């Protein structure tokens, strides 16, 4: 076997064969390859060598908010009677939420009054945002238990705060770059090289979806809370191409390696 010639470094893995023949090697002395090595364009004239890799970063996060709508409905032949009927139930609903430490700024109230023939029809909606899912479940169960059919408690709608989603996207991008560097280091080590500074970083693709499996919808009409949380869980995936400097390792007198 002839000596290894450092005039050409391979940094890509051949997919057609599990082996790769390096310059100066015979077919009988093939080395197993680790991926898809691309010639890094090295010459003896001092041109910089490099390694280009593609990596993916994927992160998931369950929702951190939920929204519940409580509707209060009443119909009377006197306008004041219908208002009084609504107000009594509304006071109880608001007091229940306050007892569960829900801030006034997290509640919105909408009132609608209409006439239907000789009757007055009034609907009041209370929209509440929770950050504690346990409090949401406890408060809603209490309203269903204590109030009559004129009060309807909707299913929780789970979602993410805008700042939370932005942070999640950044985490996916940083993880992709981290994975790219780790992948480049492993490939460079295989060919007795060292990874240097990044030359370029390019985001190839970024996508996000809700649910544990992309593209699969929950077909249940009334899912459990855990199923609803899983369905609203957001996953962000980011794919990047990163090019790093590639440096040869040189052994010192103390038998330690350092990069050229």
* CATH code where residue 70 lies: 3.30.70.330
Tell me what percent of the residues of the chain surpass a pLDDT of 70. 73
Whether residue 142 is predicted with pLDDT greater than 80 in this model: the reply is yes
Same domain membership, residue 116 and residue 170: no
Whether residue 81 is predicted with pLDDT greater than 70 in this model: the reply is yes
Same domain membership, residue 243 and residue 190: yes
* Rounded Cα gap, residues 191 and 211, in angstroms: 41
- What does the chain come to in residues? 260
Do the bridges between strand 19-20 and strand 31-32 make them parallel or antiparallel, or are there none, so unpaired? antiparallel
How many domains in the chain?
2
What is the reported pLDDT for 178? 97
Same domain membership, residue 208 and residue 89: no
Same domain membership, residue 117 and residue 194: no
Domain carrying residue 153: 65-159
What is the reported pLDDT for 144? 96
Q: Are 74 and 88 in contact (CB under 8 A)?
A: no
What is the reported pLDDT for 113? 95
- Which of 18-22, 50-54, 146-150 has the least mean pLDDT? 18-22
- Which of 167-171, 207-211, 221-225 has the least mean pLDDT? 221-225
Mean pLDDT of all residues belonging to the chain:
81
Whether residue 181 is predicted with pLDDT greater than 80 in this model: the reply is yes
Domain membership flag for residue 24 = no
Average pLDDT over residues 143-155: 95
Question: In this structure, what token pair is assigned to residue 115?
Answer: 């006439």
Q: Are 237 and 206 in contact (CB under 8 A)?
A: yes
What is the reported pLDDT for 224? 84
Same domain membership, residue 79 and residue 93: yes
CATH code of the domain containing 198: 3.30.110.170
What is the reported pLDDT for 11? 43
**DSSP of 79-145, one letter per residue?**
HHHHHHHHHHHHHHHHHHHHHTT--GGGEEEEEEEEEETTEEEEEEEEEEEES-HHHHHHHHHHHHH
Give the confidence band of 217 by pLDDT, cuts at 50, 70, 90: very low
* Rounded Cα gap, residues 257 and 189, in angstroms: 11
Same domain membership, residue 168 and residue 56: yes
């Amino acid at each position: 076997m002839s000596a290894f010639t450092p005039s050409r470094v391979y940094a890509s893995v051949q997919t057609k064969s599990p082996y790769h023949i390096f310059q100066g090697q015979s077919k009988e002395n093939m080395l197993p390859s680790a991926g898809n090595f691309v010639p890094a364009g090295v010459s003896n004239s001092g041109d910089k060598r490099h390694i280009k890799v593609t990596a993916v970063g994927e992160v998931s996060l369950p929702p951190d908010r939920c929204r519940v709508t409580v509707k209060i409905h009443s119909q009377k032949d006197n306008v004041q009677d219908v208002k009084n009927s609504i107000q009594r139930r509304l006071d109880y609903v608001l007091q229940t939420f306050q007892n569960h430490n829900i801030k006034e700024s997290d509640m919105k109230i909408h009132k609608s009054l209409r006439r239907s023939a000789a009757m007055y029809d009034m609907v009041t909606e209370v929209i509440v945002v929770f950050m504690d899912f346990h409090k949401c479940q406890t408060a809603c169960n209490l309203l269903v238990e204590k109030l009559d059919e004129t009060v309807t408690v909707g299913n929780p709608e789970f979602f993410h705060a805008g700042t939370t989603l932005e942070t999640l996207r950044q985490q996916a991008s940083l993880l992709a770059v981290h994975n790219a560097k780790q992948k480049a280091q492993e490939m460079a080590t295989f060919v007795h090289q060292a990874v240097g500074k990044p030359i370029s970083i390019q985001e190839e693709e970024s996508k996000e979806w809700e649910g544990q499996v992309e593209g699969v919808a929950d077909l249940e009409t009334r899912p459990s809370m855990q199923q609803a949380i899983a369905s609203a869980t957001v996953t962000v995936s980011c794919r990047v191409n990163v090019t790093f400097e590639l440096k040869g390792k040189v052994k010192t007198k103390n038998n330690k390696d350092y990069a050229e």
